[in-house]
């Protein structure tokens, strides 16, 4: 068997090959749920996506015996490094056949480029940061991923760990099913007390103010996550993209904002889980897209992913985490079509929120991992 050859992506044809490579690795019946290739290409293109206003990257493909078998991106996010006062180099968009030599060659190519950029350690997978898809699935392979969550074969962990990448942090995906929408007595009592105090008001998002509501939620998210592991604030231009994307798919009924004296202080956003449709599309919009939508409706209906959840630090100890989750689950109870909600992702070391979700009948269904390796030359 020939030695794997590593190629840099230097033109449009190679970028397209990089973006579409996973489709050749995953069989039709796999649980792989890609985004649209056109969106991935935009995300990876400096000048086309605002992430690259303060970041740079190098893309690599692995070829063996004339066939492309893997890919990786090496990324320097200067905005994150300035924010965290560190010299982190990221790797991401990793896909590979079960080919240890090819995987190691890809990782080494990414490392060498990051060393050239002056980075001292590498972290990933980040695609391209924690504000986007991230993490490697290490547990929960038998259940499909939710919208904008990754899926990969079990052997990926062995490929990374055999190159001496080590766990830095796990990310949990929690699921709450309709049949488990029951609260322990102590929690019901505490919620009754908090509601009697009437410190906060709340409302769902409105179509007429949807863009402003999303921006309020992003402001809350930025402040509430400021001290969290690997957090990097969105730039104003990145926030513009998020507003545009969320407006297209969110259900305002599952977008809740809490107020204190008319100021937004907490919120959460749950999106319809469109992953079944994305699995059928396999990255491409074509003439069959309406048929795929029709066939996916039953799987999508009533399933949601809670993807944004934040509380301003000054209000965390006033019962708002309980009130937010109770509000969301009360909405679920009132909607007969509701079936399940996935909360993803939650940091492994965020024990307060993890315990609270479990009190609200959440169970861990998937575990994702961020890896690290020191590379200081």
The mean pLDDT value of the chain amounts to: 94
- pLDDT average, residue stretch 5-11: 97
**What distance in Å separates the CA atoms of residue 60 and residue 66, rounded to the nearest whole number?**
15
Give pLDDT, residue 78. 98
Cα 167–Cα 170–Cα 176 angle in degrees, nearest 5: 160
Cα dihedral: 330, 335, 336, 341 (round 10): -70
Confidence at residue 127, expressed as pLDDT on a 0 to 100 scale: 98
Q: Is the pLDDT of residue 1 over 70?
A: no
Transcribe 282-339 into DSSP letters.
Answer: TT---TTHHHHHHHHHHHHTTEEEEEEEEE-GGGGGGTHHHHHHHHHHHHHHH-TT--
Burial class (CB within 10 angstroms; exposed 0-12, middle 13-18, buried 19+) of 12? exposed
C-beta of residue 44 within 8 angstroms of C-beta of residue 15: yes
CB 131 within 8 A of CB 232: yes
Reported confidence tier of residue 377, pLDDT bands at 50, 70, 90: low
Confidence of residue 178 (pLDDT cuts 50, 70, 90): very high
Do the Cβ atoms of 188 and 371 come closer than 8 Å?
A: no
**Window from 29-38, 39-48, 125-134, 281-290 with minimum mean pLDDT:** 281-290
Give pLDDT, residue 311.
96
More confident residue, 182 or 197: 197
Read off the pLDDT of residues 41-89 as tens digits, 9 standing for 90 and up.
Answer: 999 999 999 999 999 999 999 999 999 999 999 999 999 999 999 999 9
Closest C-alpha among 62, 61, 39 to residue 51 = 39
Please report which confidence band the pLDDT of residue 180 belongs to, taking 50, 70 and 90 as the band edges.
confident
Within 13 Å, how many C-alpha atoms sit on residue 266's CB side? 22
Do residues 137 and 152 lie in contact, with contact meaning Cβ atoms separated by under 8 Å?
yes
pTM for this model (two decimals):
0.95
| Rg (alpha carbons) of the chain, rounded to whole number | 21
Q: Which domains does the chain have, with CATH numbers?
A: 5-171 (3.40.630.30), 176-368 (3.40.630.30)
> Is the pLDDT confidence value at 221 over 90?
yes
Task: Tell which residue, 367, 295, 370, has the closest CA to residue 151.
Answer: 367
pLDDT digits (tens, 9 = 90+) for 88-121: 999 999 999 999 999 999 999 999 999 999 999 9
């Amino acid at each position: 068997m020939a030695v794997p050859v590593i190629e840099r992506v230097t033109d449009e044809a190679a970028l397209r090959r990089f973006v579409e490579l996973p489709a050749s690795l995953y069989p039709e019946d796999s649980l792989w749920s890609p985004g649209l290739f056109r969106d991935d290409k935009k995300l990876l293109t400096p000048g086309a996506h605002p992430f690259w206003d303060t970041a740079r990257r190098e893309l690599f493909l692995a070829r063996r015996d004339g066939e492309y078998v893997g890919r990786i991106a090496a990324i320097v996010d200067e905005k994150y490094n300035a924010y965290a006062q560190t010299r982190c180099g990221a790797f991401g968009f990793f896909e590979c056949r079960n080919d240890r030599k090819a995987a190691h060659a890809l990782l080494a190519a990414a490392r060498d480029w990051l060393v050239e950029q002056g980075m001292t350690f590498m972290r990933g997978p980040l695609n391209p940061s924690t504000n986007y898809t991230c993490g490697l699935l290490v547990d929960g392979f038998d259940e499909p991923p939710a919208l904008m969550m990754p899926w990969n074969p079990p052997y990926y962990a062995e490929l990374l760990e055999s190159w001496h990448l080590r766990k830095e942090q796990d990310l949990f995906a929690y699921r709450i099913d309709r049949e488990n929408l029951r609260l322990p007595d102590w929690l019901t009592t505490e919620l009754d007390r908090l509601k009697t105090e009437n410190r906060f008001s709340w409302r769902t998002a409105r179509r007429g103010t949807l863009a402003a509501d999303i921006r309020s939620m992003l402001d809350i998210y930025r402040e509430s996550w400021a001290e969290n592991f690997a957090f990097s604030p969105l730039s104003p231009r990145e926030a513009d993209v998020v507003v545009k994307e969320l407006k297209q798919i969110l259900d305002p009924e599952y977008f809740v904002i809490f107020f204190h004296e008319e100021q937004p202080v907490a919120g959460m956003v749950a999106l319809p889980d469109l992953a079944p449709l994305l699995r059928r599309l396999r990255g491409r919009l074509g003439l069959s897209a309406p048929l795929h939508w029709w066939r996916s409706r039953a799987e999508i209906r009533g399933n949601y992913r809670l993807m944004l959840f934040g509380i301003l630090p000054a209000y965390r100890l006033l019962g708002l985490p309980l009130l937010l989750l109770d509000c969301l689950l009360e909405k679920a109870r009132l909607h007969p079509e509701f079936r399940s909600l996935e909360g993803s992702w939650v940091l492994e070391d965020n024990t307060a929120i993890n315990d609270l979700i479990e009190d609200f009948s959440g169970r861990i269904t998937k575990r994702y991992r961020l890896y690290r390796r020191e590379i200081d030359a």
